Chain A
Amino acid sequence: MKSLNILSEIFSYLSYIDLSMCAKVSKLFNRVSKASSTWRREALRIATGNLIFYGRPLDQSGSSHFSIGSTDWKQNLLDFLNSKQNWLCIDFPNKSKDATNLFSEFINILKEPDIPFPVLRRDKKIYSTLFQEMLAYQESGPSLRLSTNALTESVIFELFKNHKNLEVEFATQVEISQLIIAKWNLRAKSEIVLRKMSIGALSSKSTAVSIDQESELMNIYFTFPLKNAKPVVLKLHRAIKCTISKYCQIALASILDYCDLAEQCNQYIIKWNAFCASMKELNAMYMSFNEAFNKVFKKKAEISPNGPQFSIMRLMALQWRRKVFDKFKDRLVEEALILIELSREKDMSQEFTYLLVKIVQSIVDMSINELSVHFINHSQFYSDGLYELLHEKIILETSKYYQNLVNLKPVEFLQKTNKDFKLIQRVFLKSTQNEIEKILTETKLEFCKKVSPEEAEKILYNESEVYPSRDNLEKKTSEDCMIEKHAHKAGFPLDSSPEERILYSMANDISPLEFEGIILNYELN
């Protein structure tokens, strides 16, 4: 064994702090430390811990099936831990002690959330994932973990007890612009966009600002370190957002660390479930922050109708979508299509069916929002995200597949279509099932032209008493009416306005131009 190997073996027993000390000792030590697998292990240990997934600990130690990726684990770990700086500049009552405690509690919850069993959840019949439940019941009860988060809850409550003082802190238009950006999660980096944003905010408060002042504001904005920003609401928002974003980077890296596509998808699902559980806990802990933010926003920058409320949950979901989902979604769709094709070629094991169901659900999670979640089981549900793409692809594939079945014998045809449709019903949303049922009916009708009348009858009346027809499927079912009734009670219409759709969308970023359009439109009316 070469001495370099021995050294790297020895270094693997060190923690990141000790390793960073060694890296500074000599050039040899530095070289060995750079290549050390310790950074990866430490990043995972600090950020993702050992998840207990549905009662089963998730083993991340085995390294044989990992690809040696180009991920800079040291940088990831560094970024994640450095996000503490943002917490330290918040004026907590008990300054740095509170900040340190809050930060470590925050990363602890990201690392080891209590992932609830599906059976323990409230409405498992209607909503199949934790995230959908959270969207549907925003004022949900306390998190499952009761005792440990008492500290954060009290500190945050203390901080935002007096909501009146908070608005006073928003003295400049820059700060109000920042508030708007924070609330809407706008990615407003370009100067033009920002100018428009400021005008939007200014005109709504009807204060005239000259062009000079405006460009001055712009300069301040770009050179303005947030450390010096006064409003505590903004500081906390920035701290949370930064930590979440760095966590998401590590989560994505750890998913991409696996070679196999199916395993990557499996890991994505586990990480997403864990993230949702963290989201639920953190949202409950930071409830008073959510309230304070919304209150301040209403007083200072309320410019549009019926936008979604600010919440930690929304912030976290959007960060996940940007940092992880957007970079991984193509693989999810690819794997879903592979699995469907596999099931059509041969019998698929339970394990793969489960994976398929979970993949589709996680795509659905990222295609809905607070409005559309209520219509998820509606036969005319229209999502604004990736699910729509999957929906179209599946329909295309299915109609091709059914066309090929037409040449089979009647018994085989019936067997294959039945089996396939059962899988479709298990995996996809009602709206997709409906479309596929239409295709199936047409295929069946076409098929019946070739066989004897007895056989045709058997095929068409298979297991159901109603003669299938396209017209029947176009109609609303009684379930649809129930869903509409429920949603109406809660105040959610199926056909929301285009503005609302843009504002609520979690799947797409609001482009600042669209946002400005909405503001101006609202002010004209």
Chain B
Amino acid sequence: MFYNFNKIEEVKIRLRSAEGHICEVEESAALMSSFIRSMIEGFNEVTEVSLPNINSVVIEKVIEYMRHYKDKDPPIIKKPIISSKMEENTSAWDAGFIDADWNMVVDLMTAADYLMMIPLRDLCCAKMACKFKGRSIDELRAEYHIENEFPSEMEENLEFQHPWRLE
């Protein structure tokens, strides 16, 4: 008898966002998150997970990542990063995925941390590290609105401890 395995509907997990929206994702993809995995394994037949501190835009983004890496391992980003452009540090897909505005990256990182998705968290961290790479002190201070907190004698000392300059 002919039996088409593809026809079997995969179990879907419903993720409830902060706004109360429901986003559906296949169970196999959702297992990438250790948080969801422990929920499913801990309470049998859980199909809905409530994520009150993640908004639905971010959840959609997370689901996109989960689906892409459902069957394969995400690439590992080498430390230290070699460039301030993400394309040179990781795969093209990852670089395109994380190419979002700053707030999105921060939200994504918080979500990844909450959901315990280490590869996604690493990707976000690397993206943020790109912002620090190859920048001078003044550029960094200006960008993050930090005023010089160091008294001058301490600044000399700092200079002595970190004599390296950007080339």
Contacts and interface: CB of A to CB of B under 8 A. Distances in A.
A27 B125 contact: no
Nearest to A81: B164
A186 interface: no
Contact of B80 (A6, A42, A74): A42
Chain A interface mostly helix, strand, loop or mixed? helix
Contacts of A25: 137, 140-141, 144, 146
Residue in A16, A17, A25 whose Cβ sees the most chain B Cβ within 10 Å: A25
A20 B164 contact: yes
A10 B149 contact: no
B113 A21 contact: no
Given A17-B164, A78-B161, A11 B137 contact: no
B91 to A, nearest CB: 16
Contact of B132 (A6, A18, A26, A30): A18
A88 to B, nearest CB: 13
Nearest to A41: B79
A27 B149 contact: yes
B72 interface: no
B57 interface: no
B163 interface: yes
A136 to B, nearest CB: 42
Interface string A1-44: 10000100111111111101111111100100000001001100
A17 B126 CA distance: 16
A45 B79 CA distance: 10
B52 to A, nearest CB: 17
B141 A26 contact: yes
A74 B161 CA distance: 9
Interface string B102-144: 0000000110010000000100011011001111110011001
B146 A26 contact: yes
Contacts of A215: none
Given A13-B125, A14-B133, A24 B158 contact: yes
Contacts of B149: 26-27
A165 interface: no
A477 interface: no
A42 B105 CA distance: 27
A78 B158 CA distance: 13
B11 interface: no
B88 interface: no
A247 B24 CA distance: 56
Nearest to B89: A13
B63 interface: no
A23 B128 CA distance: 16
Contacts, number: 83
Interface in A401-452: none
Q: How large is the interface on B (under 10, 10 to 19, 20 to 34, 35 or more residues)?
A: 20 to 34
B159 interface: yes
Contacts of A1: 110, 113
Contacts of A82: 163
A408 B79 CA distance: 60
Nearest to A20: B162
Contacts of A12: 79, 125
A12 to B, nearest CB: 6
B92 interface: no
Contacts of A17: 164-167
A18 B158 contact: no
A53 to B, nearest CB: 21
Interface residues of A, number: 29
Contacts of A41: 79
B163 A78 contact: yes
Given A14-B132, A26-B146, A42-B80, A6 B109 contact: yes
A48 to B, nearest CB: 16
Nearest to A15: B80
B140 A9 contact: no
Contacts of B158: 23-24, 30
Contacts of A18: 80, 132-135
B159 A13 contact: no
Contacts of B129: 10-11, 13-14
A16 B149 CA distance: 22
Nearest to A13: B129
A6 B114 CA distance: 13
B159 A16 contact: no
A24 B162 contact: yes
Interface in A34-80: 38, 41-42, 45, 74, 78
B75 to A, nearest CB: 14
A9 B121 CA distance: 9
Interface in B54-94: 77, 79-81
A42 B137 CA distance: 21
Contacts of B132: 10-11, 14, 18, 21-22
Nearest to A82: B163
Nearest to A37: B79
Residue in B125, B136, B144 whose Cβ sees the most chain A Cβ within 10 Å: B125
Contact of A6 (B125, B140, B163, B164): B125
A6 B113 CA distance: 10
Contact of A21 (B110, B121, B146, B166): B166
A374 B165 CA distance: 51
Interface string A124-165: 000000000000000000000000000000000000000000
Interface of A: 1, 6, 9-18, 20-27, 30, 38, 41-42, 45, 74, 78, 81-82
25 contacts: A1-B110, A1-B113, A10-B128, A11-B129, A13-B77, A13-B80, A13-B81, A13-B126, A13-B129, A15-B81, A18-B80, A18-B133, A20-B162, A21-B140, A21-B166, A22-B140, A23-B158, A23-B161, A24-B162, A25-B137, A25-B144, A25-B146, A27-B149, A41-B79, A45-B80
8 A-B pairs closest in CB distance? A20-B162, A13-B129, A15-B80, A1-B113, A17-B164, A26-B146, A20-B164, A9-B125
Given A25-B144, A78-B163, 7 more contacts: A13-B81, A13-B125, A13-B129, A22-B140, A23-B161, A24-B159, A27-B149
Interface of B: 77, 79-81, 109-110, 113, 121, 125-126, 128-129, 132-137, 140-141, 144, 146, 149-150, 155, 158-159, 161-167
